[in-house]
Amino acid sequence: MIHVNCPSCYGSKTEVFFRFEKAPVQSVVVIKSKEDSLSLPRKDITLAFCHDCGFIYNSSFDTDIDMYTGGYEDQQGFSPTFRKFITSLTSRFIEKYNVRNKDIVEIGCGKGDFLALISELGNNRGTGIDPAYVEGRLAPDNRLKFLKEFYTEKHGELPNDVIVCRHTLEHIHATGAFMNTVRNSLTPESRTVLFFEVPSIVRILKSNAFWDIFYEHCSYFSPGSLSRLFRKNNFEVFDLYLEYDEQYLFIEAGMSVSPEKKHPLEESVDELWSMSKQFAESVSKKLDEWEELLNEYKIIGKKVVVWGGGSKSVGFLTHFDRLKVIKHVVDINPHLTGNYIPGTGLRYKSPMFLKEFKPDAVIIMNGIYEQEISSMLNEMELNPRLHSL
Ligand SMILES: [Zn+2]
């Protein structure tokens, strides 16, 4: 099915500007055998741009795929770099809105790590809503409860001083309908603060980060398009900012008092369209450069591994898997070790595996972890060439 009208603002001035063929439809699903990894369905990603609101989405996305009930591994908290970042960010948010002894609802809470953190730091109570929630990953905490379901209007009855939604909106195809549900779950008098986080498409477009475009992410937001979606649903944007090397985009919002107020970080629809056209032109050059490098490694018989599992590695390997030069993917999440990477048939290894494998080159899927990875390699007395995305 082709989604012609914009799923965010329902406008009809949409235009396809880029296509990736045959991407594995899932990237962080738990896969236990090589056969299941290789037989994972592949479908095209057809990026369309909405000239009304600037929303970018996969216009050929198959909304019938069940992404989340078969096991989902997306915890980031095993990295010290990430833990430091998320703790400082959460403390800042708590200070800003005095989120202490409050009730938090988190839509798409994953394994509950963030809810546990914000409850711990501000002595808050929390309800996490996520069909992919897994019991037993967190230390027992009677301030927290979890509902294994999708968010609906009835969840508005839960006490909610804050509604958190991190790294979830980009997985939702019908973003306009979803924000309408969030809006309708609240009363007009509500003082609830919304705290949402998504990857920023601006960074992806500007740095030709093709590995950040994968099937599970059907929706891509910029500061401008995200704010326009919130305003269309009668929310006022309180603040908007980029974090983590500008990879993550945050929005804080609430019931509208000044509905038309714009934030300085918002770019115009035309500016985003120029970036999108530029991306479409230059990304194939970037793909060629990587292919050349990997081919060189292959010819001289070097051992190459990817460090960093999950979506980025699937997004990266999708393009180079056929070269058969990358033999292993390493990740520090112990729940990934031994599982298979969707689509490629490769298996996740723990970092300790490298001690014996002695790689000649390590491709780091997120440059922000370079220092952390480099010191782990040093401790193992390894000195491979590092390439960071
Ligand atoms: Zn639109």
Domains by residue range for the chain, with CATH: 291-388 (3.40.50.720)
366 C-alpha vs ligand 1 centroid, how far in Å? 30
Distance 261 CA to ligand 1 centre (A): 19
């390894």: which residue's tokens? Answer: 382
C-alpha neighbours within 13 Å on the C-beta side of residue 264:
0
Confidence of residue 335 (pLDDT cuts 50, 70, 90): confident
**Both tokens of residue 195?**
């705290």
How far, in Å, from the CA of 83 to the mean position of ligand 1?
35
Please provide residue 315's backbone torsions phi and psi, each rounded to the nearest 5 degrees: -60, -35
Q: Measured in angstroms, how far is the CA atom of residue 222 from the centroid of ligand 1? A: 12
CA of 51 from ligand 1 middle (Å) equals 7
Distance 385 CA to ligand 1 centre (A): 43
**Average pLDDT estimate for 150-163:** 97
* Per-residue pLDDT, 72: 66
Q: How many residues does the chain have?
A: 389
CB contact at 8 A, 115 and 138: no
In whole angstroms, give the CA distance from residue 349 to residue 329: 6
Beta-ladder partners of 363: 306, 387
Count of C-beta atoms within a 10 Å radius of residue 15: 13
CA of 6 to the centre of ligand 1 (A): 5
Q: What is the distance in A from the centroid of ligand 1 to the CA of 8?
A: 5
Half-sphere CA count of 180, side-chain side, radius 13 A = 8
* pLDDT, averaged across the chain: 94
Instruction: Give the pLDDT confidence score for residue 218 in this predicted structure.
Output: 97
Residue 219's pLDDT band, with cuts at 50, 70 and 90, is very high
- Cα of 342 to ligand 1 centre, how many Å? 31
Is pLDDT of 257 > 90? no
Q: Please tell me the pTM assigned to this model.
A: 0.93
The CA 44 to ligand 1 mean position distance, Å, reads: 21
> Is the model more confident about 194 or about 133?
194
Question: What's the CA-to-centroid distance between 262 and ligand 1, angstroms?
Answer: 17
Taking the centre of ligand 1 as the mean of its atom positions, its distance from the CA of residue 11, in whole angstroms, is 5
Mean of the pLDDT values across residues 375-388?
97
14 CA → ligand 1 middle, Å: 8
pLDDT at 12 over 70: yes
How far, in Å, from the CA of 242 to the mean position of ligand 1? 22
The predicted model gives 61-67 an average pLDDT of: 88
CA of 58 to the centre of ligand 1 (A): 13
State in Å: Cα 268 to ligand 1 middle.
Answer: 13
Q: How close is the Cα of 287 to the center of ligand 1, in Å?
A: 29
The arrangement of strands across the sheet holding 348-349 comes to 348-349, 326-330, 304-307, 361-364, 385-388
Q: Can you give the pLDDT at residue 67?
A: 75
Rounded to the nearest whole angstrom, what is the distance from the C-alpha of residue 263 to the centroid of ligand 1?
Answer: 19
Rounded Cα distance between 283 and 137, Å, is 39
Q: 9 C-alpha vs ligand 1 centroid, how far in Å? A: 4
Q: 35-39 — which CB contacts under 8 Å span 24+ positions?
A: 36/340, 37/340, 37/341, 37/342, 37/343, 37/344, 37/345, 37/346, 38/343, 38/344, 38/345
Q: Whose structure tokens read 């963030």?
A: 114
- Expressed in angstroms and rounded, the spacing between residue 181 Cα and the centre of ligand 1 is 18
269 C-alpha to center of ligand 1: Å? 10
pLDDT at 71 over 70: no
Distant-in-sequence, close-in-space partners of 86: CB < 8 Å, separation ≥ 6: 76, 77, 114, 117
CA of 278 to the centre of ligand 1 (A): 20
66 vs 90, 109, 132, 154, 177, CA distance in Å? 31, 18, 11, 23, 19
Question: How far does the centroid of ligand 1 lie from the alpha carbon of residue 7, in Å?
Answer: 7
Cα 153 to middle of ligand 1, angstroms: 23
Question: For residue 334, what are the β-bridge partners?
Answer: none
